[in-house]
Chain A
Amino acid sequence: MIEYLLSLVLGFTAGFLIERLKGVGREKEFLSKGMTASLFFLIFFLGLDIGRKLDLSEMIQVGKLSIVFAVMTMVFSYTASKILLRGFRCSSR
């Protein structure tokens, strides 16, 4: 977790310095391309990692129950966050 935070801070500093020294030019375009390329690589390696770790027989055994759990936690998390954000936006007006 520390290295992720450090990376974020370093990136922020680099961006801040670039903006101060020469203004925003083609950097945004470079960032967009870099992010898309990283996304593709990341998803591919993530898939490889999942494929290697996944136990198919285990997955089948608890499959239906897992889908219900995953969907329900996602739906309730989304709803609770939406309510909290709406409250925050109303109170800050």
Chain B
Amino acid sequence: MFVALVLLILVAGIAIGSISKSLAFDFGEYIHWILIFFIFLIGMDLGLMESRMEKIKKSWKIGSLIAAGTVTGSLFAGVILHYFLSIPLLLAASVAAGMGWYSLTGPFLAKTAGAFAGALGFTSNFLREVLTFIFYPKMKDKTSAISIGGATTMDTTLPLIARFSSSENALVAFIHGFFISALAPILLSILSSLM
């Protein structure tokens, strides 16, 4: 029921957004401030926890391990797709290396590898974010499933993870997203320089 409500709100937002393209409001600014408030609440929740320092230390380890899994898995998926879809290896790896950060991958690939690469980079990573909203609540292993959100687990999908998991996992997701957000631009730069 709650998942359906979340998806309904997302679809309503997209529908209203697409028919109000001419409006001059910057919704990105609203998202930014709501996120800051939300992350503040997550911090508060952690501060209220007992044995908080132990949990934070453990979250760092788990967050970095999941980030390693996300990078390895995404790049491996790029290699597999290169073989099965006959897409150039570096292009497939670059699209996969965006790891959900569509606002970076789309423009970056459009500039370095052309319009098709840019469109593919944007839509693939955009869909990764949307699919995380759909699939995360249904996943059994909520900790490993943080990886499906890629870079978005530090911001846009963080509230979803916090709502459907625990505050400990919310911290893991934040740390994971932090690592991925730092690694995605580096990986994209390396891969595009090899193209």
Contact = CB atoms under 8 A, between A and B. Distances in A.
B175 to A, nearest CB: 10
Give the interface residue-count category, chain A: 35 or more
Given A13-B47, A70-B128, A4 B155 contact: yes
Give the interface residue-count category, chain B: 35 or more
B120 A62 contact: yes
B84 to A, nearest CB: 9
B85 A65 contact: yes
Contacts, number: 276
B66 A81 contact: yes
Q: Chain A interface mostly helix, strand, loop or mixed?
A: helix
Interface of B: 6, 9-21, 23, 27-28, 30-31, 34-49, 52, 61-62, 65-66, 68-70, 72-74, 76-78, 80-81, 85, 92, 95-96, 99, 116, 119-120, 122-128, 130-133, 135, 139, 141, 143-148, 150, 154-156, 159-160, 162-163, 174, 178, 181
21 contacts: A1-B181, A4-B35, A8-B174, A15-B46, A31-B44, A34-B37, A35-B163, A38-B37, A39-B162, A42-B34, A56-B18, A58-B119, A69-B92, A72-B81, A73-B77, A73-B96, A73-B99, A74-B135, A77-B77, A78-B148, A85-B66
